[in-house]
Amino acid sequence: MTRVLLVEDDAWLAALEVGVLTHAGFEVTHAPHALSAIERIDELAPDVLIVDVLLTGSTGLALLHELQSYVDTKTVPVIVCTNLAESLSLEDLRPYGVRKVVDKTVMQPEDLTAAVRAVLL
């Protein structure tokens, strides 16, 4: 089963996204902030990371920067799911392992599922 690590600091939105992804057949673990994601990533060995940018504490980009410095985490495909999508360019984010940017302000619930499937292809 595909393992997804969702890094999202809004608990209600995270619960909604976990529900949608679990219903689609993924094994989802939620980390509410960057530190929690770092602590759990070795144990979880996720196939895909979904990361919000503006997190409580360190930002999602700081987290991705950190993950790029480890051999085993730098290859995990990343989906950025954010309200700041209009200010971000996928090309600029590619060096952080980002394969897709999902705009929270216009996405449909199933868009996240589609994004996970797309980056696993």
> Which residues of this protein are in contact with another protein, per CB under 8 A?
10, 12-13, 16, 19-20, 54, 83-84, 86-87, 104-109
Sign for the pseudo-dihedral over CA of 86, 22, 121, 44 = positive
DSSP the chain: --EEEEE-S-HHHHHHHHHHHHHTT-EEEEESSHHHHHHHHHHH--SEEEE-SS-SSS-HHHHHHHHTTSTTTTTS-EEEEETTGGG--HHHHGGGTEEEEEETTT--HHHHHHHHHHHH-
Q: How far is CA 74 from the centre of its chain?
A: 13
Q: How far is the CB of 43 from another protein (least distance, A)?
A: 29
Q: How far is the CB of 46 from another protein (least distance, A)?
A: 22
Q: Which is nearer to another protein, 45 or 57 (CB)?
A: 57
Q: Which is nearer to another protein, 20 or 38 (CB)?
A: 20
Q: How far is the CB of 34 from another protein (least distance, A)?
A: 17
Q: Which is nearer to another protein, 20 or 44 (CB)?
A: 20
Q: How far is the CB of 104 from another protein (least distance, A)?
A: 4
Q: Which is nearer to another protein, 54 or 120 (CB)?
A: 54
